[in-house]
Chain A
Amino acid sequence: MVVRSKIAKRTIIVSDNLEMEVKARWYRVCEPDYDTGETRVTLVLRYPKKGERIVLSAISSFDEAPILLEKHSEAAAKEDADMAADAAVGIFLLILGLGLQHRTGDMAKQLLSRFDYEVKLYRPDPREALSSLELASQLGKLVRIAYAYIHCDIVLSHPRRVDEIEVIVGRRLAEFSWDRVERTLDLRPLISQVSRKTLKELAMSEI
Chain B
Amino acid sequence: MFAKGPVVRKRIIVSNEVEFEVRARWHFIPVTPGNGATKVILSVRRNGKVAEFRAIWAFSDAPFQKVRLGLREAIEEARNEANWAVWEFCYFLSLALQRKTLSLQDDMLLHFRVYRGMQSKDSWTLLDGLELAGEWAKLVKIAYIYIYSEIAVQRPTDLNDFEKFIGEQILHFADDKETEVFDLRPILQAKSLAELVVPQTL
Contacts and interface: CB of A to CB of B under 8 A. Distances in A.
Question: Do A and B form a real pair?
Answer: yes
Interface of A: 99-100, 102-105, 107-108, 111, 120-127, 129-131, 133-138, 140-141, 143-144, 147-148, 151
B131 A108 contact: no
A124 B123 contact: no
B118 A130 contact: no
Contacts of B144: 126-127, 130
Contacts of A137: 130-135, 137
B138 A134 contact: yes
A143 B133 contact: no
Interface in B90-138: 95-96, 99, 101-102, 104-105, 108, 114, 117-124, 126-128, 130-135, 137-138
A147 B123 contact: yes
Contacts of A143: 127
11 contacts: A99-B126, A102-B122, A104-B122, A108-B130, A111-B130, A126-B95, A126-B101, A133-B105, A133-B133, A133-B134, A134-B141
Contacts of A140: 127, 130-131, 134
A111 B127 CA distance: 10
Interface of B: 95-96, 99, 101-102, 104-105, 108, 114, 117-124, 126-128, 130-135, 137-138, 140-141, 144-145, 148
Given A104-B117, A104-B118, A151-B124, 8 more contacts: A108-B126, A120-B101, A123-B101, A130-B138, A130-B140, A134-B141, A137-B135, A147-B127
A107 B148 CA distance: 33
Contacts of B120: 104
B123 A100 contact: yes
Contacts of B127: 99, 140-141, 143-144, 147
Contacts of B108: 133
A80 to B, nearest CB: 29
B105 A121 contact: yes
A120 to B, nearest CB: 8
How would you classify the secondary structure of chain A's contact residues: helix, strand, loop or mixed? Answer: helix
B148 A127 contact: yes
Nearest to B134: A137
A129 B105 contact: yes
Contact of B131 (A100, A122, A144): A144
Contact of A126 (B96, B117, B118, B124): B96
Top 9 nearest A-B pairs by Cβ distance? A137-B134, A144-B127, A99-B123, A130-B141, A102-B121, A126-B96, A140-B130, A133-B137, A130-B137
A138 B137 CA distance: 12
Contacts of A103: 121
B140 A147 contact: no
B58 to A, nearest CB: 17
Given A130-B140, A130-B141, A141-B131, A121 B101 contact: yes
Contact of B141 (A102, A131, A147): A131
A108 B118 contact: yes
Contacts of A135: 134
